[in-house]
Chains A and B, each alone.
Chain A
Amino acid sequence: MLRIIVRRLLLSIPLLLVVSGITFVLESFVPGDPARSLLGVNATVQQYDALRQSLHLNEPVLQQYWLYLQGLFQGDLGKSIFTNESVLQTIAGRLPVTLSLIVGATLLASIIGIFLGVYSATRGRVSRRVVDVLSLLGIAFPGFWVALALIAVFAIALPLFPATGYVTFADSPQLWISSLVLPVVALTIGGVALIAKVTRDSMLSTLSLDYIRTLRASGVSQLSIVWRHALRNSGLAVATTIGLTLISFIPGTIFVESVFVLPGLGYALVTATNQHDIPLVQGIGLTFTAVVIVVNLLVDILYGLLNPKVRAQ
């Protein structure tokens, strides 16, 4: 197991380099000039040239990337062109917000998805159809619309939760929960369907195995058969799907953080891309890649916990 973890971590290094290179090149194609955005129309030619020189924008893209890599290898992600704030500091301030959102949504989607999957696997055809329809509605409704609808109902008509904003856990655990309820629900709805479907398919397959019949014959309760035995053995597929769902929530944070005005990485990425703030775009891109790597690693570890054969291998 340790060997797998170490190998995965070593393989992630070239992956991060590839991602940073592609991001850098793609960002260089985005029209616009950060120096112009910073200085506006009123700057003189001398001011413009001086700023471009200080930001190394007058150098070839590959040269700029090499300068960036030199800083990266020393743990320096550079400074935001616009705020002059350290990119590492910006990310550190915003990462907890985004993680709260995607971890919360993943937990909620997993609980609901697994419950619906198990329910539809152990009930009749009508129940399965109902669950299918509910799951598909979750995919069909645009996330943006869902978010606005939640605000209209639960923040304005019934003022149960704040419409916008985020409170850190350190400032107030109660308000932290409150500020995350609606955004987490908005993000969760689209992720339930796949988890429910994979859980159901996997459960149906497991429940048809001989050992389940033996357990029933031995007098083990249906509740125990479903939740203790069958679900555990269906866990590999479900675990993979949950991992993929978490990863799919990352781009979703962009619209959720925008609508609910959460100071997370998704929202910062949109602003940074529009402003051509290359260091910040790079930093956030690398952070998201690192999150994906960690999630995949955790799924692999979970495999080992769920299946002794994987541990033995």
Chain B
Amino acid sequence: MKKKSALLIATILAAALALTGCTAGAKSSAKADDTLVIALQSPPVSLDPAKAAVGLYVNYVDPAYASLLNRAVNGKIVAGLADKWGYNSDNTEFHATLRKGVKWADGTPITAADVVASIKYFATGSGPSSPTMAALDVSAQGDSTVVLKSKTPNPILADLLTPENLGGAIISPAGLKNPPALAEATYGAGPYVYNTKQSVSGDHYVFTPNKNYWNQSAIHYKSITIKVIANANSAVQALKSGQIDFMQGNADVAPTIKSNSDLAVLSKPSIWAGLFLLDRDGTIVPALADVRVRQALNYAVDRDAITKAVYGEYGQAVDQPQAPGFDGYSKAAEKVYTYNPAKAKKLLAEAGYAKGLTIPVNYGSFDADNTKLVQAVQEQLSVVGVTLELTAATNFGGWVGDIVSKKFAATVLSPGSGGAEFPFAQSAFMPGGIVNIFGAEDPELSAAFNALASASVADHDAAAQKVTDVAVDHALSLPIAAVNTTLMYNKKLQGLEFTKGNGVPTYVTAWTSK
């Protein structure tokens, strides 16, 4: 009898525990409307703006580090911590003036000298715009004006100071005193501050309101949490169950929420994917120095078929290294290389490669879409006698290491999330460019680039498109598709839009929940 009672009590307790778990789970699944939860696929490289990744990963930094300037949805540069700015007549000098009363999160006023120190520190980092910042002369004029001087014309100095490049995501003197601490804590002037107590490194990063932010009405949330969810399927489940508001999707998972009326997909071309031809001067593959060979590669691939197979409705075929709607995208360069294997073979024969050639290519197998893309390109190029020797890198560090080893004539690239033509062309095609590993030079492209550098605002678009036209005519790359950045979100979230010319949605102060 005693044992039966014990068994009965144990069963009741177990049932009670399970019921408690159910009830608690049902209540806890959906998050509160006054919090914002974002899911990103990997943890931040660092919380230090000088080392942080851009694209969607700027969300790890953006809440705590307000930038000097911002970009509105229509693509125009607008005020941030600075409310006055401008260039001189030849784009060699730029000034930005701090708005009155702005403070660091610790309450101390921000001065021009603070901004200069921050920009100089940023120039020593490894961010995508750090090399450009390092070439600038930065100084303070009075207490609130910062002047950036460039030896050569640079039309994107304002862009460098926006969140998409992080150059203007200023760091306080307290943070600069101990740079290693920037990896674990924030020292900015943004609407939120990083809350180390509520965060778990590698799992979730919590930001709570900054009472010293200059525009309190822009703070819409009690907290912003960025959760690391590497598995896209897990992120979708979290979105469906109301645990998160927003995630980056892809062609595979985006269709799975179509039947859910509470959720929506925002998708727009933002990057180009394809083969980036590193060895354009023919250092390891002499054939690539011949424009006919590079053009043959472009004629030999069926972009429409590959794009449909790899990206479905989330990509569109392009034969230029820019996505539609972005700076430098050229209507004149559309459909220059239609699929024509016979023409490809003819060009190869004219160049003396009728028997074909071999090109060593590296790619990152950690990117499933890039893997499918390069395999499809390999198959199609083999038809015209071009063999791609593929080497996979299983992680990002390995991929970068392979590129800088100069053992590969081409790599598979999906460069960031859109952006201006100037920095892309500078890094990819100009001598000394970070991605121009072999230092290849094309005189006509250099001339177009220099014209772009000194172009006025009115002439900028035409000059950027000219750079693209040259890059396409000379077949400096093998673009395949303009790939969409796909965002999946709960419709309660408002203000979520792609900024014109940028693959990153408008920053966090613009988002609100119903």
Q: Which residues of B contact A178 (CB under 8 A)?
A: 20-22, 24-25, 28
Which residue from chain A places its CB closest to the CB of B233 in the assembled complex?
Answer: A148
Q: Is the CB of B25 within 8 A of A162?
A: yes
Q: Which residues of B contact A70 (CB under 8 A)?
A: none
Total residues of chain A contacting the partner, CB 8 A: 54
A275 to B45, CA, bound (A): 10
Which residue from chain A places its CB closest to the CB of B129 in the assembled complex?
Answer: A42
- A39 in contact (CB, < 8 A): yes
Q: Which residues of B contact A82 (CB under 8 A)?
A: 43, 45-46
Contact of B237 among A34, A90, A152 (CB under 8 A): A152
A31 to B21, CA, bound (A): 43
- A4 in contact (CB, < 8 A): no
Which of B167-175, B197-205, B295-303, B486-494 participates in binding chain A? B197-205
A268 to B393, CA, bound (A): 21
User: Please, what's the 1-or-0 string for A231-261, where 1 marks a CB less than 8 Å from any CB in chain B?
Assistant: 0000000000000000000000000001111
Q: Is the CB of A164 within 8 A of B229?
A: yes
- A218 in contact (CB, < 8 A): no
A172 with B24, Cβ < 8 A, contacts A85-B184, A260-B234 known: yes
Question: For window 3-45 of chain A, which residues contact chain B by CB distance below 8 Å?
Answer: 30-44
Q: Is the CB of B126 within 8 A of A38?
A: yes
Contact of A93 among B17, B42, B200, B401 (CB under 8 A): B200
- Taking the nearest CB of chain B, how far is it from the CB of A298, in angstroms? 23
- A214 in contact (CB, < 8 A): no
A38 to B42, CA, bound (A): 13
Q: Which residues of A contact B51 (CB under 8 A)?
A: 38-39
Q: Which residues of B contact A164 (CB under 8 A)?
A: 227, 229, 234-235, 237-238, 241, 243
Question: For window 144-203 of chain A, which residues contact chain B by CB distance below 8 Å?
Answer: 148, 151-152, 155-156, 159-165, 167, 172, 174-175, 177-181
Q: Is the CB of B241 within 8 A of A159?
A: yes
Q: Which residues of B contact A41 (CB under 8 A)?
A: 400, 403, 434-435
- A274 in contact (CB, < 8 A): yes
Contact of A162 among B28, B45, B201 (CB under 8 A): B28
Q: Is the CB of B126 within 8 A of A175?
A: no
Q: Is the CB of A259 within 8 A of B231?
A: yes
Question: For window 41-97 of chain B, which residues contact chain A by CB distance below 8 Å?
Answer: 42-43, 45-46, 51, 53
Q: Which residues of B contact A64 (CB under 8 A)?
A: none
- Taking the nearest CB of chain A, how far is it from the CB of B8, in angstroms? 14
Total residues of chain B contacting the partner, CB 8 A: 57
- A53 in contact (CB, < 8 A): no
Q: Is the CB of A161 within 8 A of B22?
A: yes
- A63 in contact (CB, < 8 A): no
- A58 in contact (CB, < 8 A): no
Q: Is the CB of A161 within 8 A of B231?
A: no
Q: Which residues of A contact B393 (CB under 8 A)?
A: 31-32
A39 to B43, CA, bound (A): 15
- A313 in contact (CB, < 8 A): no
Contact of B240 among A148, A163, A259 (CB under 8 A): A163
A118 to B467, CA, bound (A): 77
Q: Is the CB of B126 within 8 A of A155?
A: no
Q: Is the CB of A177 within 8 A of B131?
A: no
- Taking the nearest CB of chain B, how far is it from the CB of A27, in angstroms? 12
- Taking the nearest CB of chain B, how far is it from the CB of A191, in angstroms? 19
Q: How many contacts between A and B, using CB within 8 angstroms?
A: 177
- A271 in contact (CB, < 8 A): yes
- B26 in contact (CB, < 8 A): yes
User: Please, what's the 1-or-0 string for B485-506, where 1 marks a CB less than 8 Å from any CB in chain A?
Assistant: 0000000000000000000000
Q: Is the CB of B243 within 8 A of A162?
A: yes
Which residue from chain A places its CB closest to the CB of B400 in the assembled complex?
Answer: A36
Contact of A31 among B127, B131, B394 (CB under 8 A): B394
Q: Which residues of A contact B462 (CB under 8 A)?
A: none
A residues adjacent to B (C-beta < 8 A): 30-44, 47, 82-85, 90, 93, 148, 151-152, 155-156, 159-165, 167, 172, 174-175, 177-181, 258-261, 263, 267-268, 271, 274-276
B residues adjacent to A (C-beta < 8 A): 17-18, 20-26, 28-29, 42-43, 45-46, 51, 53, 124, 126-128, 130-131, 180, 183-184, 200-204, 227-231, 233-235, 237-238, 240-241, 243, 366, 393-398, 400-401, 403-404, 434-435
Taking A163-B238, A164-B227, A178-B21 as known contacts, 11 extra A-B pairs with beta carbons closer than 8 A to each other, sorted by chain A number, are A38-B51, A38-B126, A42-B130, A156-B237, A160-B25, A162-B243, A163-B234, A164-B229, A165-B227, A178-B28, A181-B22
21 contacts across the A-B interface (CB closer than 8 A): A31-B394, A39-B126, A41-B403, A47-B124, A47-B126, A85-B184, A90-B201, A148-B237, A155-B25, A155-B241, A156-B240, A159-B25, A160-B25, A164-B237, A177-B21, A179-B28, A180-B21, A258-B231, A258-B234, A260-B234, A276-B395
* Minimum-distance CB pairs A-B, first 8: A37-B397, A32-B398, A263-B203, A178-B25, A174-B24, A161-B25, A36-B397, A32-B397
